[in-house]
Amino acid sequence: MIRFLRIRDLAVIDRLELELDAGFTILTGETGAGKSIVVGALGLLRGARASSSLVRTGAERAVVEAVAEDADGEHVLRREISAHGRSRAFVDDRLVSTAGLRTVGAGLLDLHGQHEHQALLDPSTHLDLLDQHAGLAPLRDAVRVAFAAWQGARRRLEQARDRETNAVERTEIVTFQLHEIDEVDPLDNEDETLAAQRRILANAEHVHRLAVESYAELYEGDHAALGVLDRVWKRVEELAGFDAEFRPHLESRDAVLSHLEELAYALRSLVGGADRAPEELPAVEERLAGLERLKRRYGPTLADVIALRARLRREREQGAGRKDLEGLEAAVSEAGDAYIAAARTLSERRRAAAGTLGRSLQRGLADLAMERARFEVVFQRAGGGEAAWTERGIDRGEFYFSANPGEDVRPLARIASGGELSRVMLVLRTAIRTDAPGRTLVFDEVDAGIGGEAAERVGAKLCGLAERYQVLCITHLPQIAAYGASHHRVTKSVRGGRTLAAVHRLDEEARAAEIARMMTGTRVSGTVLESARELLSPETPAKRSRRAP
């Protein structure tokens, strides 16, 4: 329930403070006076989209705040809109997101305007209204959960089938790559070894000459280094007999001799292999080219190629494995059966509730001067098999309506006038009492398209709603305004070149004058004023109902 509303610098409203009572509150005023701004301000507290164009010219920001009361106590809701387009929301002085404000605001108040009535023109909303009336939320939840489970099972099956297809393709790729690598069969560091060998073979003549000359000078020549060195060691041995400092040098003699002999053997092998160079070089180069192709494709290094071959062999040995498609297909079938069972239960309950809702709406419409109206919920089982399954079930339902005797019921969305839609929505709101007691219901021009006796009955219906909820109604009809427990008038004036809107609470006399104005316009005669007082007199149902809340 909204206890207090404050608006600052919103559109043509400079400063406005409004205390709201429980029960039925009427808001009236000339067209364009700013009544809808008040409703828009409440919409902002419910999380509606904000725009910098709402900020009053010259102001830095617009502020809307309200003190609301629910079962948990009082809450302060505030919405600030900057002239630069930014918006901030607060609940109990705590900064929240717009979605957070929308959650809190939706639990406190509900807005019903002509756009909401137009929602009846969308047949997809009709099943939701039927389910609310019949209290089918638990069954709806069961269907929604079953639908999600079925979708999840289908998704897992599709993923398994994709993996199965991918596994076949992957096996072909692994086989091809292993064949390419195994055909070359690289060894560790083979490319480096062959590269060194190629350098030798490519320079065989020069290498041969260097090896021959070095081997001769080291081992075979008249002045070979090994022969000369042998004589040197003999002299050093004699020196050691005289001077002990030379003995450590003699200890290294064997090591030096061993190194030189190994060098001689290496040179001799080069001398002997020089003749094979022309035959071996093409084979080495061809082998290196094969290794380079592998590195370009699977490298960049030969070690990477060899590591990849090991992984591919393990993958081939393990195998991708065929997933248990049969088990997943059985799970999908089981989930589908569970969904169908839940959806059929919901469908049966809907059909049972449809007649109750139709009779309830016909009685309600009769109270609103539509005694001959007929209302039905027409079902069509959704076709198309699984493609037509939804989280709302397997039904397609639409409201059918006839306002005149002798006429068949036809789709409400096609034949109902604006006034008829307004009354149907009001009766639905009365029949579908899912809101918590004390919740604020705002009706913006619910009287569109009606008048006379129908208007008075709409006022009585709204007054009946006010026994359970706080009802705020914007109206242009005196028959409805007379039912209010409290009455506020919105006025607009120009001061200092600026347009200002204000809201005034009306006492009994001012209220009679306002209802007289609503009856005839700006010219209010004594007779009209007396008629207005009579409409508000204690003997009228309107006056008695105003005292009831």
Could you tell me the domains of the chain? Answer: 1-107+438-505 (3.40.50.300), 162-318 (no CATH)
Q: Are 468 and 433 in contact (CB under 8 A)?
A: yes
Residues 186 and 184: their CA atoms lie apart, in Å, by 6
Tens-digit pLDDT profile for residues 512-523: 988 888 888 767
Tokens of 144: 């929604």
Please say whether the beta carbons of 78 and 6 come within 8 A. Answer: no
Closest among 527, 525, 549, 516 to 536, alpha carbons compared: 516
Q: Taken in order 378, 424, 20, 55, is the CA torsion positive or negative?
A: positive
Q: Are 492 and 501 in contact (CB under 8 A)?
A: yes
Quick: pLDDT tens for 62-87.
999 999 888 788 889 999 999 988 89
- DSSP characters over 97-161: -HHHHHHHHHTTEEEE-HHHHHGGG-GGGHHHHHHHHHT-HHHHHHHHHHHHHHHHHHHHHHHHH
pLDDT digits 0-9 by tens, 167-214: 778 888 888 999 999 999 999 999 998 888 888 777 767 777 777 777
Angle, helices 302-318/137-184, rounded to nearest 10 degrees = 130
Confidence of residue 545 (pLDDT cuts 50, 70, 90): very low
Write the pLDDT tens digit of every residue in 330-349. Answer: 999 999 999 999 999 999 99
Residue 547's pLDDT is 41
Residue listed under structure tokens 């700006």? 522
40 Cβ neighbours under 8 A, 6+ residues apart:
10, 11, 48, 54
Answer whether 0.85 is exceeded by the pTM: no
Distance set, CA 389 to CA 142, 148, 392, 396 (Å): 14, 11, 8, 11
Read off the pLDDT of residues 126-170 as tens digits, 9 standing for 90 and up. 898 899 888 899 999 999 999 999 999 999 888 888 877 777 788
Confidence of residue 493 (pLDDT cuts 50, 70, 90): confident
DSSP 368: T
- Mean pLDDT is lowest, of 234-243, 355-364, 390-399, for 234-243
Cα distances from 254 to residues 116, 228, 229, in angstroms, run 109, 15, 12
Query: From CA 335, how far away is CA 342, in angstroms rounded?
Result: 11
For the chain, what is the mean pLDDT?
83
For 63, 79, 88, 261, 301, the CA distances from 51, given in Å and listed in that order, are 12, 12, 12, 96, 62
What is the average per-residue pLDDT within 212-229? 75
pLDDT band with cut points at 50, 70 and 90 for residue 384 = low
Q: Let me know the angle formed at the C-alpha of 525 by 523 and 531, rounded to the nearest 5 degrees.
A: 115
Give the 3-state DSSP-derived string for 269-311, with helices as H, strands as E and coil as C.
HHHHHHHHHHHHHHHHHHHHHHHHHHHHHHCCCHHHHHHHHHH
Structure-block tokens of residue 224:
């070979």
CA atoms within 13 A on the CB side of 91: 22
Helix (H, G, I), strand (E, B) or coil at 68: strand
